[in-house]
Amino acid sequence: MNFLKKYEKEFEALDKLEHDFIDEDKIWAQLHKWENPSQEDVRRVLKKAEGCVRLEPEETAILIQNQDPTTIQEMYDLAHQLKEEVYGDRIVFFAPLYISSMCANNCTYCGFRSSNKAVERKTLSLEEIEQEVRIMIEEGQKRTVLVYGESPTTEIDYMCETIKKVYSVKSEHGEIRRANINCAPLTVEELKKIKEVGIGTFQVFQETYHHETYRRMHPAGTIKGHYRWRLYCMDRAQEAGVDDNGLGVLFGLYDWRFEVMGLMYHTIHLEGTFNGVGPHTISFPRITPATGTPFTEHPEYAVSDDDFKKLVAILRLSVPYTGLICTAREPEKVRREVLKFGVSQMDAGTRIGVGAYAKSKIANSLPDKEQFSIGDTRSLDDEIREICEMGFIPSFCTACYRAGRTGEEFMKVAKSKFVHNFCVPNAIFTFKEYLLDYASPQTKLKGEETLKQHIERFKGEKVYDSILEKIKRIENGQRDVRL
């Protein structure tokens, strides 16, 4: 209870709210109203979506309830088009770094829950973090998301030290240039501290927006048992000046249709409260099996592959300017397919055990140290080569964050579709670095073809000569070149 005590006043204030912004009756009323939308209804929504504007919840409900194969394909086509218009055909790569498996919570679906005796508990020392980061850098990673359990051993001062340690590790060719954070909800003062050490996106996933399901999955008496403390964490982040926020749902805890609507209402709440600044990213992992966690074997609301593809496209259509992250929980085949429906970021070369980069070359090798199982265990190099073969360009870009294009500034360039003018050139520069410093011979061969094609697309534009000049600088040994 001591760990809970510091949040008591915050919890009391939230409990006094008459209601929060997730109105379940309203959500279900909208979904029931549009159980059988016509092609005309769907196309009306798609026409609006073409303008790269956020949809209203009722419009999202029409897309969710659409069962017509013809207009579902039109949804897929437009989702791909919008992603290309906003971000170009680049796919940003990153890898998670698990810092600790210590957790005071007891979430039914989580391998790290406190009651799970089948998982080995560990918190990395600063020396161990350095070892993990060096291996990640050697594989070509430039971006990471640091993942923490909720525990007295990983409170804010420790988190700040680990972030500084990650940034301090340098090698001959590289370093981690952006560290995002996936952790428990924090207070405003705690968020100010992590802003000072230079985090990227602050991620907290609601897991489920359905109140009763949330209560069943997160036992009372734990910090995570307080729904509203989690629901309003991004409000506190904005107040603290941490203005790049990542939302997410763990699909499979409740009906996916409701959860997509919950994400929409959360987006609308943030945009309405903070001068149009909604989520920088949205993640949509599905439940996968975890050691010692029976719930994960047969979740009642498991999402089929077809519905998963549909919900990814709907998110792109509904919030067209937000980054969509497809995690390595998904198998290769599914990831390959949803890349065409609006995904802009994905992890690769992923190991999710605490200390796993030093102990293993592949995911799922340390089941007693992992939070869940990974569906796509390929190396970063293999995934990059496939991305090139699919016609995309890999990116390790961190320029927007370091150039101050965050929060409101990022939303301006994203909503205007101008951000791709930064995204694709910066993808070219970071991918060139990867090919020179890390790529296998076969990936380098394919990657150089991809680079040439993308550079030539800028021929005749003002930026073309600048791209060629910066590529030459990279070839001559300079690194971290960006717009």
Predicted pLDDT of residue 99: 96
* Tens of pLDDT, residues 15-66: 999 999 999 999 999 999 999 999 999 999 999 999 999 999 999 999 999 9
84 φψ region: left (φ > 0), alpha (ψ -120 to 50), beta (else): alpha
**pLDDT of amino acid 6:** 80
Q: State how far the Cα of 186 lies from the Cα of 218, in Å rounded to an integer.
A: 18
Q: Which range among 384-388, 423-427, 467-471 shows the weakest confidence by mean pLDDT?
A: 423-427
Question: What token pair was written down for 76?
Answer: 């897929």
Are the C-beta atoms of residues 254 and 208 closer than 8 Å to each other?
Answer: yes
pLDDT on residue 418? 65
Question: Does residue 465 have a pLDDT over 50?
Answer: yes
Q: Is the pLDDT of residue 1 over 50?
A: no
- Write down the pTM of the prediction: 0.96
Average pLDDT over residues 329-353: 96
CATH superfamily of 2-22+89-408: Aldolase class I (3.20.20.70)
- Mean pLDDT, range 297-303, rounded to an integer: 96
Mean pLDDT of the chain: 94
pLDDT reported for residue 419: 63
* Rounded average pLDDT over 106-135: 96
Query: What average pLDDT does range 209-228 have in this prediction?
Result: 95
Say if residues 119 and 369 touch (Cβ distance below 8 Å): yes
Strand, coil or helix: 182: strand
Which region among 100-104, 127-131, 208-212, 252-256 has the lowest average model confidence (pLDDT)? 100-104
- pLDDT of res. 2: 65
pLDDT confidence of residue 415: 77
Mean pLDDT across 386-401: 92
Strands (E), 188-344: 202-203, 245-248, 281-283, 323-326
299 and 289 Cβ atoms separated by less than 8 Å: no
The domain ranges of the chain are 2-22+89-408, 24-80, 420-475
User: Which of 284, 273, 244 minimizes the C-alpha distance to 414?
Assistant: 244
Could you tell me if 257 and 423 are in contact, meaning their C-beta atoms sit under 8 angstroms apart?
Answer: no
Asked if residue 317 has pLDDT above 90, the reply is yes
